[in-house]
Each structure stands twice: as C-alpha cells, then as structure tokens.
Chain A
Amino acid sequence: MAVALILVLIALGSVAFHLWSPWWWTPIASNWSYIDTTIVITFWITGAVFVAVVLFMAYCVYRFRHRQGQQAHYEPESKRLELWLTVITGVGVAAMLTPGLFVWHQFISVPEDATDIEILGQQWQWSFRLPGPDGKLGTTDARLISPDNPLGLSREDQSGQDDVIVEGGELRLPIGKPVKALLRSVDVIHNFYVPEIRAKMDLVPGQVSYIWFTPTRTGTFEILCAELCGLGHSQMRGTVVVQEQKDYQTWLQGQASRSFARLSPDAQ
C-alpha cells in the first residue's frame, strides 16, 4: 500500500515539479525557437509515458500484492499486446525524431546571406574576428601565431588586412542578421555556448567547425565554454552584445581603423 502510494507520489510529484518549479530555460535571443519546440514535444511524449508507466506500476503493486491464497495468472506472452505496444512506441519515437531531423537540417544549412565571423578559443579566453569593409575573413594558420599576431593571420592574404580583431573582450553582433560563426581553437577543445542562443558547437584545434544563428533581440549575453578545457574551464567567459544595426556600424568603423594599423604588412 505504502509502496503504491509512493509510486503515485513520484509520478505526480515529477509532473508538479516540471510545471511549477522556478527552473526553466532562459528566454531565447536567436532564431532557434524551433529547438525549443522540439524540446517541448519531447517533454510531452516522454512525460506521458513516464506517468502512464509509473501509475500502472502503482496500480499493479496495489491490486496484485500478495494475499493469502492468491495465485498469479499464468500467461507466458501475448503476441498481440506486445505487437501493439511496439507499434505505439514506434509512432511515439517517429513523432519525436521527424521534427528533430527537420530542425537539424535547418541547423546545419547556413543561409546564403550569412556574415562570416570567426570565434577563436584558447586557454582560457575568447577572441573574435569580424570581416572589415570587404566582408571577407583572411586565412589563418596556427603556426603563424606569435605575440603580435595572436590569431595566426596570414599576412599574404589581402582579405585579412581589414579584419577586425577583438581579443578577450566582447563580441558585437547586429540584430536580425544571420551570422555564420567559424570556430577555431589554438590549443585544446573548447565549446562556444550562449544559453540564450541555444546553439553550441565545439572548437577543435586543427580544424574549423561552424554554427549559424540570427540574433533576435538586443542585449548582453554570456558566452560560456562548455567543453572541459583544463583548470580555467569555468573562468573562460565572454560576452555577446547584440546591437541595433546603426550602433553596430558605428562601433565597427571605430574598430576597423585601429586594427588596420596593427596588422598592416610593415608591422612585421
């Protein structure tokens, strides 16, 4: 009796916790509300299964508890029942998988008009590189990294000459414009994670990975590293500042003139 009651309490308590506890995701600031939708779908389906199974267990424990003279029913299997349960499970799984794969397809297909930016991780700080007026990022090589060239930019590449470099500070992005972030690391694996953007991806040394998103509200958001990268892992923070297009341009102009001087070929 007590056992059945506690099982019921677990099922209902879990639902109550889900509905009324203060802990829920932080409001979204990017175009990935579809991801939130897939999570909600998954919560509905899995929640229903959880409650159903636990309540059924509680019923069985109460109804078929041992009493004097009781004998269990002998029934080795029921093909029909098992078949039905398999089919229903299959439908449930498909209902979660299908939207998931659709959204994943969007997640990895970068729109044509996305601006390339670069996010670079190193122990334990973030650096960023934005294309200058030409809209293109220059090429890089980890072996070129030196104190006066912290991102390893290739100096032969013309399109790199006007790139805006932000070291250890904040990443500024204009609102409403899709960004393709090229992710690069110079030492160990890091992970670019902004909870409000929902997207995240590893920065792997020796290769370039990417994510894309469109900021949808202005504000300042925290960048975290989400892949264990050594002792300073939890201190590896940064900020994304999403601004109106006008403010962003003003800021960019100011940066462009500064970085141009620093990275001109004769600075070698």
Chain B
Amino acid sequence: MVDVPLGPIGTAPSPATEDVELYHPHSWVTKYVFSQDAKIIAIQYSFVALTVGLIALVLSWLMRLQLGFPGVFTFIDANAYYQFITMHGMMMVVYVLTALFLGGFGNYLIPLMVGARDMVFPYLNMLSFWVYLLAVLILVASFFAPGGPTGAGWTLYPPQAIMSGTPGGQDWGIVLMLVSLMVFIIGFTMGGLNYVVTVLQARARGMTLMRMPLTVWGIFTASFMALLAFPALFVGAVMMLFDRALGTSFFMPAIVEMGQTLDRSGGSPLLFQHLFWFFGHPEVYIVALPAFGIVSDLISTHARRNIFGYRMMVWALLAIGALSFVVWAHHMYVSGMNPYFGFFFATTTLIIAIPTAIKVYNWILTLWRGDIHLNVPMLFALAFIVTFLNGGLTGLFLGNVVVDVPLSDTMFVVAHFHMVMGVAPILVIFGAIYHWYPKVTGRMLNDTLGKLHFWVTFLGAYAIFFPMHYLGLMGVPRRYHEIGEMAFVPPSAHTLNAFITIVALIVGAVQLVFVFNLFWSLRHGRPSGGNPWRATTLEWQTPETPPPHGNWGKELPVVYRWAYDYSVPGAAEDFLPQNQPNAQATAGLAHG
C-alpha cells in the first residue's frame, strides 16, 4: 500500500471556479418544486418519507390496539389487521428508512460533506424523487382500490400473496404493491447512481477517501449495496406479477385451493424466498450502514474526540457490506430449504457479528476520555448504541441456526428486528435531524421539546420491545390476529400485551411533539450560526447558512486534513475544520 504523496503543508492555491454547469432555476417552480438542487431534493424526500412514516405509525397503533385489547375494536378484523401489518412493514422498511437515509440524508450530506457543488447528475436526481413520489402514490392508492391493500405480510411470500385466502391476493392490492416496488426500485437506481458517482468523482481537492467522514462512507457503501440488491426484489416482483396476472408458474406449484385445483404446476415458492432475502438481508444493512456512519459522526462531534479507530471503522463497514450478501438464507432456516445450507449460513451470519461488534467498541471507546456534551443529538446517539447493541445481540440467537428453530416466526423475531432496524436507525434519524437542522434552516430545534421527545421515545421504545422478546421465547407466534386461548400462554402475557400497546400509543403520540418542534423552530428557533456544534466536517464550513444552490459560493473548498481533528494537542481550538490549512491558525476560516 502506498501512502498518498503529500504536498508541502500550507495553503495550496484554491482552484478558481470553472464554469459551473449547474442548472440555475428561473422560477419558483423550478427552484422549489422541480428543483435540481440536491438539498431541495433531500428536503422533498425527507418530507414525503416522514409523511409515509406517520401513516405507518398510525397503522402500528391500530394493530397494537388489536393485540393489546383483542375484540374491543371490532373494525380491526383479520382482513384489516393483515393489511395493516403488511403496509406498516413495507412502508417503514422501504419507503421510509431507505428513502430517508439515502434519498434524504444522502442527498443533503454527500455533496456538502465531500465539497461538491451538487450531485453529478442533477436532472436524474430530480427525476429520482418524482419517481419515488409516484411509487408512494401507487402504494397509497392501494388503500382505496377494490379489496384494499395486500395483507400478505411484508415478505409477500407466494403462493399465499396471490391467492384468494389473503386480503388483496386476487384483487388489486398485491398488483399495486408489486408495481409500486418496481417503480421505487427504478427511482432509487437513478438516485443511487448519483450518490455513488458523486462520491467517486466529485470530491473536493484534497478529499481522499480516508479523509471522508464516516457518514459519507456509510451512505456510499449502502447505496452501492442497494444498487446491487434491489434488482433481486425487482426480479421477484416481475415474476410474481407474471404469476398473478398472466398465469405463469414461476412460484406456483400444483395447488388445491379450497377444494379447487388451480391450473398451475411445478413452481417453487422457495425460489421467491431466495430472491426476496437476497434483497432483504442486504436491505437491513442498507438501513444500518448510513446509521452507523451518522452515529459515528454525532458521537465524535459531541464527545469532542476523533472517532476511535477510524481505519478499522472503514474496513468494518466494507466488510459488513460485502458479507451481508452471503447471509440471506438465515431468514430461511425453517423454510424447508436444504437443511445443510444451515451450516454455511449460520457461520457467515455469526462472522458478520465480529466487524459489527468492533464498531460498537469503537463508539464507546470514543466516549472514553472524551469531553462529552450531552446535547440532544448525542443523547440519541447514546440511545442508538443501547438499542442497537440489544437488537444486535438477539440477532445472534436468530442467526445461530438451531437456536433460531424455536424462536423463528415468534414475537422474538418481531422484537429483534424492531429493536435493531426499527428503533435503532430511527433514533439515529432523530439525532441526525437535531444535529443538521441548524444547517438546513439556520435555526436550532427547541432543546426542551427535544429532550422530552428523546426520553419518551427511547425509554418507551425499549419498554415496548424488550419485554416482547419474552413473549416470543414463551412461544407466542407473530402475525396472529388474535392470540386467543393457548394453554402455554399465562394470563399475565395478555396484561403484558396491553401494557405494550399503551406504551406504543404514548411513544407514537410524542412524535407529534417532534413534528411540532420541526415547524415551530422554523420561525421561532434560536439562530444557529454556521457551525453551532463546532464541527470539523465541510458541511459546517459553507460561506452561507443555509447553503444556497451551488453550496460554496465562488471557490470550492480545499481539504487539508481528515474529518476528525478534535482536541488536537497544541491547536488553538478543540476542533480543526477540514478546510483549515494550519493547525495553529484560529478556527473560523470561511465561517458564515
């Protein structure tokens, strides 16, 4: 390996702005609606994704009401219940988390953090958002279609997904779901190409890969993975659509449905599961890696200390990304696939725990001997570590083939994946919004409301999902409209379910405080200045806040150091911005 040859320390001539080929908007519509500015697109993505998130939150309330108080809310029959869980799951995983991390944070942060004026293909980027919106509209349309949305579970396993015993199976529901997913994937590919190529090609002078903040590393790796993994879902969706609409038998074996022999034969339901999880498992990391990256930067900034073991963090990120493509069948231990696959997939799955554990260690080692400012973003980052650790460790149960046998398809699984890819990444999203809101708007979010939001969300979410594991350990299966009377379920379990529901309602309600804070602070928040957290990364060094179209004014920034020069001995301040040439100079270069 060759170290990067370095020029003499000191100021290098900044490249004069060449003719910047940015599309300059002329009207309000091209500036704020059909905008090609990555930052506006990011806000559009985030707004739509958060709206979908609120819908999915309401759906989760409804299903929790049924689970906590069965029979009380009669409008939630089995039909509605299965539709709610399906839409809740699919919306949260794909249309909220993926869209928010990559379309939202990716769009806002990548160009700013690598010192570019915009994404490399702004027009494609704009198209990406509008295609995403179309996908969302198609998905929401299924609520109003005859028969309602699909109730096949978010995994959409055939044959039941396209049969009449499932809500939406022989109606419009499943068709709209599959079409919406395909449209989403097309839209995502447009965006994903942008995120990847911008990192590859548009970095500022001096921004070597190893100087990039981990946020960029995380989003970059996740985008690349998503580009390669989403085609698997696309293939599965195309084939299932053919099975549903054109009578093919890709996934449909000979079937006798309610005494009626269907005109299908020979297909393999397991083939769909392989395709689905070939997408589905990398998808977990597509959500997790940006969260890893962002949380690393939050911890480092607010603990005023460089992220511990930066190189190891980068390598671990890449290792996790690569390994996540060879673990997919750990979702299929009890699916009836060749049981000998279990040995391979259990081993790869548990190996992936090692780089993940290294990341956790490095986060807490960054806290160690730091100078910890317990700002709201930092609180969320700490809560992320707790919940991610908890969910990651229960993953070791489910990944270890034979341990998975009694636990799979129970509430243990539900608790596990909500903790690890529901609660943990969402806490990061909140932390990131509190952290970057000042850059987006020029104002701080209200601190008191933020703390209220934090404590209720964190403790509430933990109180929901931690006990839920034990319901699963007891044997309560997931996706049951009604648990009813089971000999092995004591009455106390029903009390626990009611408790979980009440906490879920409270946690859901407190999100309204957050939404209120978002809008209220837009006008009434404390003005933040350009760099309120005294952070080193480039996005905080823009000449103006919020940054205008083109980000940097006349001159592009030049990068002299890595992203984590906090508390460097001998420096005048406890942080050295990446574009500051000299350690001794007072910070404040190019401050807005």
Contacts and interface: CB of A to CB of B under 8 A. Distances in A.
B339 interface: yes
Contacts of B342: 104, 108
B544 interface: no
A73 interface: yes
Given A226-B410, A228-B152, A196 B309 contact: no
A223 to B, nearest CB: 11
A42 B336 contact: no
A136 B357 CA distance: 51
A139 to B, nearest CB: 14
Contact of A57 (B308, B367, B483): B367
Contact of A188 (B163, B259, B364, B568): B163
Contacts of B569: 74
A45 B396 CA distance: 10
Contacts of A175: none
B578 to A, nearest CB: 15
A191 interface: yes
Main secondary structure of the interface of A (DSSP, over half): mixed
A220 B488 CA distance: 11
Contact of B361 (A82, A104, A222, A225): A82
Interface in B368-423: 368-374, 379, 382, 385-386, 389-390, 393-394, 396-397, 400-403, 405-410
Interface stretch (A62-70, A163-171, A244-252, A255-263): A62-70
B470 interface: yes
Interface in A179-213: 183, 186-189, 191, 193, 195-196, 198-207, 209
Contacts of A14: 390, 466
Contact of B480 (A142, A231, A234): A234
A49 B467 CA distance: 19
A86 to B, nearest CB: 6
A74 B306 contact: yes
Contacts of B374: 3, 61, 65-66
A46 interface: yes
A201 to B, nearest CB: 5
B364 A60 contact: yes
A31 interface: no
Given A89-B358, A187-B256, A72 B304 contact: yes
Interface stretch (A18-26, A127-135, A153-161): A18-26
Contacts of A204: 269-270, 335-336
Contacts of B401: 100-101, 104
Given A71-B574, A206-B268, A228-B157, A100 B390 contact: no
Considering the complex of A and B, which 5 residue pairs feature the smallest CB-CB distances, nearest first? A206-B253, A195-B475, A230-B165, A209-B336, A188-B160
Contact of A25 (B151, B153, B309, B475): B475
Contacts of B389: 49-50, 53-54
A5 interface: no
B261 interface: yes
A76 B267 CA distance: 55
A147 interface: yes
Interface residues of B, number: 113
Contacts of B253: 142, 205-207
B482 A205 contact: no
Interface in B414-458: none
Interface stretch (B15-23, B98-106, B223-231, B344-352): B344-352
B372 A42 contact: no
Nearest to B390: A50
Nearest to B373: A66
Which of B166, B261, B335, B406 has most A Cβ within 10 Å?
B406
6 contacts: A10-B386, A73-B567, A76-B308, A142-B255, A188-B166, A195-B488
Interface stretch (B140-148, B186-194, B490-498): B490-498
B423 to A, nearest CB: 13
Given A66-B372, A195-B474, A187 B269 contact: no
A243 interface: no
Given A53-B364, A93-B351, A229-B160, A77 B310 contact: yes
Given A57-B367, A65-B372, A100-B402, A201 B334 contact: yes
B312 A82 contact: yes
A23 B492 contact: yes
Interface string B460-480: 001000110011011101011
Contact of A60 (B335, B339, B370): B370
B496 A23 contact: yes
B467 A23 contact: yes
A221 B486 CA distance: 10
A17 B466 contact: yes
B79 A231 contact: yes
B254 A143 contact: yes
A33 to B, nearest CB: 11
A153 B82 CA distance: 34
A254 interface: no
B354 interface: yes
A26 to B, nearest CB: 4
B3 interface: no
Nearest to A28: B406
B386 A60 contact: no
A78 B159 CA distance: 53
A233 B481 contact: yes
A228 B496 CA distance: 23
Given A89-B354, A233-B481, A77 B309 contact: yes
A198 B167 contact: no
A234 B488 contact: no
B470 A24 contact: yes
Contacts of A61: 367, 372, 374, 382
A74 B342 CA distance: 45
Contacts of B261: 142-143, 145
A117 interface: no
Nearest to B398: A42
A196 B488 CA distance: 8
B368 A64 contact: yes
Given A26-B475, A66-B373, A97-B347, A206 B254 contact: yes
Contacts of B268: 206-207
B258 interface: yes
Given A35-B406, A38-B402, A122-B256, A93 B310 contact: no
B163 A230 contact: yes
B481 A234 contact: yes
B244 interface: no
A192 B550 CA distance: 59
Most A CB atoms within 10 A — which of B169, B362, B371?
A: B371
B26 interface: no
Contacts of B474: 23-26, 195
Contacts of B394: 46
Given A101-B346, A195-B475, A205 B255 contact: yes
